[in-house]
Structure 1
Amino acid sequence: MASVTFFSTTTDLWSSRTSEPYISLTVHFVNEEFELKSRCLQTSYFPADHTGENIALGLREALAAWDLCEERQVAITTDNGTNIVKAVELNQWTRIQCFGHRLHLAIENALKDNAQCINRATGICRKIVGHFSHSWKKRVALKEAQQELNLPEHAMVTDCSTRWGSTQKMIARVLEQQSALSKVLSTDRKVRHLLPSWQDLEVLESVNKALSPLQDFTDALSGESYVSISCVKPALHLLNTSVLAEDEADTELTKSLKTKILSYLNNKYEGTQDLLNFTTFLDPRFRTQ
């Protein structure tokens, strides 16, 4: 670390499986061979109240422990929690918002605006996943149905409320295995009610069509071995012009989700256009004539 001239950092607060609070700090820099490197400096127990003041002090102490000068920190990337945003402001550091977290919030807000029908359909998916997770006999029956119908022998996917991608994967798996699920569940009167109605399937297909193309953007902008901030502007351009552009074949729900996600992202990145322009222009991958 002594040879690092300029660097940026990423940080996050999280809880262990036993609900103990921690804070992590990772430093990113270019070495003398012009290679991008990342090093996790610390994952520290953080029992103090998660106020902006305490986080700000903890981050400054972490840099000082490694003899890293704050003035040489180009920027810090965080999620959009009010306490971490305040901490960065108190330290007077330049903050870059995490694209993955921002995309998650955009999708979460879009889904909330259509909550009634979506919550019912995703709730049925979760009940189906739970049913097959808790019965090995049902899993065997599902596998037999998959073989009979020439479907991929995939297990159900459990979703996590803090990761929109897991919900999309759960929905996609239910749609993929719809005929096998129907074959197994329809033979048992006790669980026949778990079968999605045609209205539920229409909602699930609409949500899946809007969200499934966004998985690639999360992966592309979450890399540690390459610069990712210069990808934000091209990504936003693609989202606006093709990926989330309305299609004539889209249902009203798909159109609504696409519009709300785009509106949220465009609004949140409006204030950082100069920074995004500079970084994209300087990246050889996006040079044009």
Structure 2
Amino acid sequence: MTSEWEIKSFVLQTRPLFTSHTGLNIAEVLKSAVLEWGLDNNQGIAVVTDNARNMDVAVREAGLSPHIKCFAHTLNLASKAGFNVNRASRLLGRVRRVAAFFHRSSTATAVLATKQGMLNLPAHKLIMDVVTRWNSSLDMLERYLEQQQAIAATLLSAEVRRNAREIDTLEPADITDAEDMVRLLSPLKKATTVLCDESRPTVSLIVPLKHMIEQSMAQCDEDSSTIAQMKRAILKDFTDRYQGEQNKFLQVSTALDPRFRSLHQLNDSQREDVFDRLKLKATQMQNQNPSETEGERAHDAEEQSPPSKKTALEDLLGESFIKEVHVAQHNTGIEAEIDLYRKATSILLSDCPLKWWRDNAKCYPLLSPMAEAYLSVPATSVPSESFFHSRGYCKRPKIPASTWKC
């Protein structure tokens, strides 16, 4: 985090790992990096990894904390669990066979384009999903539903029918289930989109997004058997991913984001516990002038006009942050700062929390160092993995791709 409250990312090093990728071997690489770059300042080093067990062992053995599991990877695992439900898996397989047939057949593709024009449908190609990207399966389903009339007409045409005898289109009941699956998983896809925004302190998004997803997976009387099973599978995989000290770190991070400081998803007791932990941590980090008066810390909230278009984050969480949570009066020092912070005018979900802290840091000499430390932690390891692959590290000669870690 720069002095202007801008997040900057740097690759300090990449190291080949020629030995087995056990947690202990990875831990040695991590400890070596910490020592080499002089990062061990006894204030903790946040580490963001995927959910693999060897990474869990590696971070623990390296003595690093907190360990944040990549939220994008968590969403990926939970969504895959939903798609693995028997009925959903079979339906997805049928759509995949149709898409694969059109990708193999130039004749079918040409006829499909003609049918799209006749039916006034977008001239879109069918999408094939990628096993490692769950949202590609959702994209494949959405595209099939968009083009189902053109697909059916193409498969019934004389020039295609003889080569597509084993390809079945979806029945009306299948279409209904596919539409329900798309609606069920759309919030997870939007959450993934939100996490791709590198310019924001994404770690503060995990708690509110997790709460939103858990609510969306609640059972309803209107749910079909397929949707009910998918919801149970997703919740079972998803709910227990963030617990203990990791969850406490995430809650404090959320409290330090001025968009989410009301902690709407928690009850009163849980909310007060979070701010008590924040007070304790801020007291430990205290280095400001104790004579600073409350008047010097007061600030005026700027009026902000709403955006003309909803962002993905507003679309997901907007309804949850309409009401303000009542805040009790506190005394002086850090308590006064927290009280002032909690009663400040809320900012929009589309606003940048780092810009808010840049403009108001002087009003919160105790809280702002906390915000700087917590909000610089990303919620996903996707940017580092993307950088790693874009630079071709996994294509180095004589070294298998699986041996490289970023």
If the TM-score is normalised by the length of the shorter chain, which range does it land in? Answer: 0.7 to 0.9
What is the RMSD of the two structures over their aligned residues, measured on CA atoms? 2.1
What corresponds to 2:106 in structure 1?
Answer: 136
What corresponds to 1:269 in structure 2?
Answer: 242
- Note if 1:260 corresponds to 2:230: no
Query: Does the 8 A contact of 1:38 with 1:224 survive in 2?
Result: no
What corresponds to 2:53 in structure 1?
Answer: 82
Aligned-partner Cα distance in 1 for 2:132–2:2: 35
Distance 1:139 1:45, change over 3 A: farther
- Secondary structure of the residue aligned to 1:48 is coil
In the TM superposition, 1:144-163 aligns within 5 A as 144-163=114-133
Distance 1:72 1:276, change over 3 A: closer
What corresponds to 1:5 in structure 2?
Answer: none
What corresponds to 1:179 in structure 2?
Answer: 149
Query: Does the 8 A contact of 1:206 with 1:253 survive in 2?
Result: no
What corresponds to 1:110 in structure 2?
Answer: 82
Following TM superposition, the consecutive aligned residue runs of length 4 or more in structure 1 with deviations greater than 6 angstroms are: none
Q: Percent identity?
A: 33
In the TM superposition, 1:191-202 aligns within 5 A as 191-198=164-171, 199-202=173-176
Amino acid at match of 1:211: L
Identify which of 142, 160, 163 aligns with 1:190: 163
User: How many angstroms does 1:229 deviate by?
Assistant: 1.4
Deviations 1:27-83 (A, max 9, x none): xxx112221111223344333211112211222333444443364553101011111
Amino acid at match of 2:16: Y
Aligned-partner Cα distance in 2 for 1:235–1:37: 24
Amino acid at match of 1:244: M
What corresponds to 1:99 in structure 2?
Answer: 71
Distance 1:43 1:130, change over 3 A: farther
Amino acid at match of 1:87: A
Q: Which has the higher contact order (CA 8 A, sep 6+)?
A: 2
Identify which of 183, 187, 209 aligns with 1:235: 209
Aligned-partner Cα distance in 1 for 2:233–2:252: 27
- Secondary structure of the residue aligned to 2:11 is strand
Deviations 1:99-152 (A, max 9, x none): 11112222222333x22x223221222221211112222212111111111111
Query: Does the 8 A contact of 2:81 with 2:230 survive in 1?
Result: no
Query: Does the 8 A contact of 1:79 with 1:97 survive in 2?
Result: yes
User: How many angstroms does 1:178 deviate by?
Assistant: 0.5
Amino acid at match of 1:201: I
Distance 1:121 1:257, change over 3 A: same
Amino acid at match of 1:101: H
Aligned-partner Cα distance in 1 for 2:93–2:83: 13
Query: Does the 8 A contact of 1:186 with 1:192 survive in 2?
Result: no
Q: Which consecutive residues of structure 2, in runs of 5 or more, have no partner in the other structure?
A: 263-323, 325-406
- Note if 1:282 corresponds to 2:256: yes
Query: Does the 8 A contact of 2:111 with 2:154 survive in 1?
Result: yes
Q: Which region of structure 1 is more displaced relative to structure 2, 85-94 or 203-212?
A: 203-212
Aligned-partner Cα distance in 2 for 1:41–1:280: 28
User: How many angstroms does 1:205 deviate by?
Assistant: 2.6
What corresponds to 2:354 in structure 1?
Answer: none
User: How many angstroms does 1:179 deviate by?
Assistant: 0.5
Identify which of 223, 237, 252 aligns with 2:197: 223
Amino acid at match of 2:211: H
Aligned-partner Cα distance in 1 for 2:221–2:28: 53
Q: Which consecutive residues of structure 1, in runs of 5 or more, have no partner in the other structure?
A: 1-29
User: How many angstroms does 1:87 deviate by?
Assistant: 0.7
If each structure's strand is expressed as a fraction of its own residues, which one has the higher value? 1
Identify which of 24, 28, 31 aligns with 1:60: 31
Deviations 1:203-249 (A, max 9, x none): 423322211221110121233221111111111222233x3344554
Structure number with bigger Rg: 2
Amino acid at match of 1:223: D
TM-score normalised by structure 1 residue count:
0.80
Q: Which region of structure 1 is more displaced relative to structure 2, 102-111 or 91-100?
A: 102-111
Query: Does the 8 A contact of 1:121 with 1:201 survive in 2?
Result: no
Amino acid at match of 1:41: L
- Note if 1:214 corresponds to 2:185: no
- Secondary structure of the residue aligned to 1:147 is helix
Distance 1:158 1:47, change over 3 A: farther
